[in-house]
Amino acid sequence: MHLGHTHDGPAAVSADATRPDGTRRALRIGLGGPVGSGKTATVAALCRELRDRLSIAVVTNDIYTREDADFLLNNAVLPPERIQAVETGACPHTAIRDDISANLEAVEDLEDAVGPLDLILVESGGDNLTATFSKGLVDAQIFVIDVAGGDDIPRKGGPGVTTADLLVVNKTDLAPYVGSDLERMALDAEKQRGGLPVAFTSLTSAEGVGPVADWVRARLAAWTA
Amino acid sequence: MSRAALLVLADGRFPAGGHAHSGGAEPAVAEGRVHDADSLADFCRGRLHTAGLTAAALAAAAAHGLDPLALDAAADARTPSPALRATARRLGRQMMRAARATWPSPELDALAAARPRGAHQPVVLGLTARSAGLGPEDAAHCAAYETVSGPATAVVRLLSLDPYHATAVLARLAPETDRVAQAAAEAARRGIDALPAASAPLLDITAEAHAAWPVRLFAS
Amino acid sequence: MSVRARARLRAEPDGRGGSALPVLESDGPLALRRTRSPRPAYARVTVVGAMSAPLNGDHLAVEAQVADGARLTVDAAAATVALPGPRADADPSTYTVDLTVGEGAVLHWLPEQLVSASGSRLHQITRVRLAPTARLLLREEQILGRHDEPTGALTTRLTVHRAGRPLLDQQLAYGPGAPGGWDGPAVLAGHRAVGQLLLADPAFEEGPPPSRLLGPTAALTPLAGPAVLVTAVAPDARLLRGLLDDATRELLDGLKEDHP
């Protein structure tokens, strides 16, 4: 074979903590959860909250091409070159768990194109309660549910609710209207999650995403320590 | 050769990105050309003998040890559609990642370094088979089978086709898939100039149309 | 009695801004005629079918060389119709075209349609070698069957090398004996006219036209090398030609300087 070598060598295979040039790569956080629970809104709010201090990029996994990416673009939470959509062949959970190759390519391409990055948010397409991210793709994952989806979701559990590094219960402002009992949700979540943190959010106000942003900052501090 | 290694490589769950691609089935379904198990079989048969034969021969040639960069250029010349070239390179890059995690080899590393954005998928597939200790015919079988299993799986999702009917389509195509793989491996033994270049006009044309769709379920 | 014929032609610059034809050899059914070119810098040759050909068992070949700096248009007076011929047991016929285009040279290779009549069997092979600065406009059209008849068996292979590297390699196989699915939803879906239009030009090194659909069954695509290919299928020869003519006009308009 007559193969030339590029200066930066082949790409990393999986979730190696360093990039091919030896620098530490960005922290990758996955956001999953059922359709309509507010994943994209949470991503948008996190970007607005953190973008002044941190270099951020987002990967979306849409069921239909680019819907979530377009929402983020239209809301101008990040410049377009920092948002990349992965096409999932109608199976977003496959792309974040079973075959993560397209997502790994997307995060690496973002680091190459707009890096260095501090944080990459990988958003799953709206799926069901069983969708979780591969550890080969993300360093930590957030599972977003909402009070309108029923206050029995934390009790029912499922891999997302029980194992996510952070459970976000969104749309708390709607609780009185849909008859959801926030205290009961908190208790059930604690029981299911064995002490893993839970954040209650309402994104109707700018500071609503605060608890999630604080958690992300803490993870980032641990990652770069 | 290890027959089990062949099963690992040919497994639809081998994490190399194929699940997001329909192999041209999505536009064929949208045009109404594929609407049931029979038309799916006809679609798969046409794809097998065109794109499938060409891909299988490239894969066999790479497994045989022919220069992967020359094969990559040969694949470019056999792929007039830029959408399909981009797809082939994207999938090649994804296959390369999986290959280097499963059967690492200096040859894979060298090709990854020379084509960091991805070589054509059949070339990477063939080199992967070689790294796994598999032969040209094994590589050809994988490539040929992939060209029909992808559309069959996609059509189950696109048409809610009975999955038993879709799998039966693949089973009935098995003897033809074997023959295509054998022909591809034989051509590969005769060298790069003997590789087939079978093509399907509608696959090329509709791939360009599909790439411009604003909303689609599959990447290709 | 099967026919074996090889026609040859060669174009060279004539030293006065035009092109001469020092070699122009007809053979058997392949009659070559120098005709008046509407483009002043070009020599023009028209292939005149002296008899019906090829019949099964015939072996026809055309060899055209365009020397460095020369310009040549080759066209045809009528469609080529592949026919079965009198002997049922005859081998398939072959039609081989070898084209060589030198540095700074231009070849417009624009034959009429190739019609695969019912019962005929033909392998068509077109091989093109382009120098790095050569320009080529090449059209091929396959019509599957005459009016209201099933197609014959037709395979074609078009291989183009530029500067020694592969630029385009395409094989098509239709009709009785062709691998399954050739008329199915992945390949032709019932269309009976298939065409390719290739324009290779070093000007495309700087960026060929972007990919574009020319209707629901035709696409203009930039190749990996400096060339574009129009791939089209159509219900019949007339509709196909209309598509390819429109594409030709548009492409050449974009390159007026290079193909005066």
Q: Is C229 near chain B, with CB under 8 Å?
A: yes
Distance from CA of B9 to the nearest CA of C (A): 26
Cα gap B1→B142, rounded to integer Å: 14
pLDDT tens by residue, C90-114: 899 999 999 999 999 999 999 999 9
Distance from CA of B19 to the nearest CA of A (A): 6
> How confident is the model at residue A118, as a pLDDT?
96
In DSSP terms, which residues pair with C80 in a beta bridge? C114
Taking CB atoms and an 8 Å limit, are C168 and B43 in contact across chains? no
Q: Is C209 near chain B, with CB under 8 Å?
A: no
**What burial letters (b/e) apply to C182-221, b meaning 16+ CB within 10 Å?**
bbbbbbbbebbbbbbbbbbbbebeeebeebbebeebbbbb
Q: What is the CATH number of domain A27-224?
A: 3.40.50.300
> How confident is the model at residue A9, as a pLDDT?
45
Whether A contacts C, i.e. 3 or more CB pairs less than 8 A apart, is no
Nearest residue in B to C189, CA atom:
B33
Cα gap A173→A193, rounded to integer Å: 24
Q: For residue C184, which residues of chain B lie inside 8 Å, CB to CB?
A: 39, 42-43, 45-46
User: How many C-alpha atoms does A4 have within 13 Å on its Cβ side?
Assistant: 4
pLDDT per residue of chain B (220 residues) written in tens, 0 to 9: 689 999 999 998 899 999 999 999 999 999 999 999 999 999 999 999 999 999 999 999 999 999 999 999 999 999 999 999 999 999 999 999 999 999 999 999 999 999 999 999 999 999 999 999 999 999 999 999 999 999 999 999 999 999 999 999 999 999 999 999 999 999 999 999 999 999 999 999 999 999 999 888 899 9
Contact C195, C140 (CB under 8 A): yes
> How confident is the model at residue A92, as a pLDDT?
81
pLDDT tens by residue, A195-218: 899 999 999 887 899 999 999 999
pLDDT tens by residue, A128-176: 677 789 999 999 999 999 998 888 888 888 888 999 999 999 999 999 9
Q: Is A3 near chain B, with CB under 8 Å?
A: yes
Q: Which of B197, B69, B189 is nearest to B136 (CA)?
A: B189
Count of pairs with CB atoms under 8 A, one residue in A, one in B: 104
Contact A163, A197 (CB under 8 A): no
Nearest residue in B to A8, CA atom:
B113
Amino acid present at B191:
G
Cα gap B27→B14, rounded to integer Å: 25
All chains having 3 or more CB pairs closer than 8 angstroms to chain A: B
Domains located in chain B, CATH noted: 24-207 (1.10.4190.10)
pLDDT at C7 exceeding the cut of 70: yes
Instruction: Give the residue ranges of the annotated binding site of A for GTP.
Output: 33-40
CA angle C31–C168–C63, rounded 5-degree value: 20
Taking CB atoms and an 8 Å limit, are B47 and C167 in contact across chains? no
Which of C140, C169, C198 should we substitute to test contact with B (largest number of B Cβ atoms within 10 Å)?
Answer: C169
pLDDT tens by residue, C188-201: 999 999 999 999 99
* DSSP annotation string for C151-185: --EEEEEEEEEETTEEEEEEEEEESTTSPTTTTST
All chains having 3 or more CB pairs closer than 8 angstroms to chain C: B
Q: How, if at all, do strands C153-162 and C165-174 pair?
A: antiparallel
> How confident is the model at residue A8, as a pLDDT?
43
Q: For residue B13, which residues of chain A lie inside 8 Å, CB to CB?
A: 98-99
> How confident is the model at residue A5, as a pLDDT?
37
> How confident is the model at residue C53, as a pLDDT?
75
Distance from CA of A6 to the nearest CA of B (A): 6
Average pLDDT, stretch A38-54? 94
Q: Is A17 near chain B, with CB under 8 Å?
A: no
Whether B contacts A, i.e. 3 or more CB pairs less than 8 A apart, is yes
Which of C124, C140, C154, C170 should we substitute to test contact with B (largest number of B Cβ atoms within 10 Å)?
Answer: C170
Cα gap C197→C156, rounded to integer Å: 14
Nearest residue in B to A12, CA atom:
B97
Distance from CA of B14 to the nearest CA of C (A): 26
- Which residues lie below 8 Å from residue C122, measured CB to CB, with a gap of 6+? C54, C56, C82, C92, C93, C94, C95, C114, C116, C152, C153, C154, C155
Q: Domain coordinates of chain A in residue numbers?
A: 27-224
Q: For residue A98, which residues of chain B lie inside 8 Å, CB to CB?
A: 13, 15, 19
Q: Tell me which DSSP letter residue B93 carries.
A: H
pLDDT tens by residue, A1-25: 444 333 344 455 566 777 777 788 9
Distance from CA of B15 to the nearest CA of A (A): 4
Taking CB atoms and an 8 Å limit, are B78 and C179 in contact across chains? no
Which one has a higher pLDDT value, C201 or A63? C201
Taking CB atoms and an 8 Å limit, are B33 and C224 in contact across chains? no
Taking CB atoms and an 8 Å limit, are B94 and A102 in contact across chains? yes
Taking CB atoms and an 8 Å limit, are C171 and B81 in contact across chains? no
> How confident is the model at residue B1, as a pLDDT?
67
Which of C231, C240, C244 should we substitute to test contact with B (largest number of B Cβ atoms within 10 Å)?
Answer: C231
Count of pairs with CB atoms under 8 A, one residue in B, one in C: 133
Which of C157, C197, C204, C221 should we substitute to test contact with B (largest number of B Cβ atoms within 10 Å)?
Answer: C221
CB atoms within 10 A of CB A121: 27
Q: How, if at all, do strands C165-174 and C121-130 pair?
A: unpaired
Q: Is C197 near chain B, with CB under 8 Å?
A: no
User: How many C-alpha atoms does C8 have within 13 Å on its Cβ side?
Assistant: 4
CA angle B10–B13–B17, rounded 5-degree value: 95
What stretch of H or E contains A58?
strand A56-62
pLDDT at C184 exceeding the cut of 80: yes
- Which residues lie below 8 Å from residue A96, measured CB to CB, with a gap of 6+? A30, A32, A61, A103, A122, A124, A131, A132, A133, A134, A137
Distance from CA of A150 to the nearest CA of B (A): 29
Distance from CA of B29 to the nearest CA of C (A): 9
